[in-house]
Amino acid sequence: MRFRCFIPFVAGLLLGWGISSPVAASSEAWEAAVVVPEVRIAIHWVSHSELSKVAFEVGKRARTRPHGFSVLRHNPGTREYRCDIYLLKRPARVDDQATVTLGHELAHCLGFSHDEGG
């Protein structure tokens, strides 16, 4: 499975985000970009247009048609982390694309990042 993700870290509540699409290198290493001791995760099953809308709202556009998307936010006031994962398909098999995409986006929610796609 190959992915391309975009993980910019900016000031404020939005810590990072990632998009999974079928073109990035699967051998790329994860880096612990943010220490996330505890995170509240919400999973949203969305259409392609809804996925694009979320990307636009956080200021990014995928270069390819993504399979999934995650947004990690931190509230400095409460010290709480929240991660929203947007997926096009529900996992149906243990090793299908939807399952791999879900795992990939979960890694981003735990504070992991990678270089591919900037």
With respect to Zn ion, which residue has the nearer C-beta, 23 or 79?
23
Binding letters toward Zn ion, positions 5-34, x by CB under 5 A: x------------x----------------
Please name which of 24, 23, 73, 70 lies closest in space to residue 51, comparing C-alpha atoms. 70
Cβ neighbors of 5 (< 8 A, separation 6 or more) are 18, 19, 20, 24, 104, 108, 114, 116, 117
With respect to Zn ion, which residue has the nearer C-beta, 13 or 25?
25
- By DSSP bridging, strand 14-20 and strand 80-87 are unpaired
Report if residue 117 touches Zn ion, rule: CB under 5 A.
no
Closest approach, Cβ 114 to Zn ion, in A, equals 6
- By DSSP bridging, strand 39-45 and strand 80-87 are parallel
Tally of helices (H runs) and strands (E runs) in the chain = 2, 6
With respect to Zn ion, which residue has the nearer C-beta, 5 or 83?
5
**Which SS3 state, helix, strand or coil, does residue 81 take?**
strand
Binding letters toward Zn ion, positions 36-65, x by CB under 5 A: ------------------------------
With respect to Zn ion, which residue has the nearer C-beta, 5 or 15?
5
Binding region for Zn ion (CB under 5 A)? 5, 18
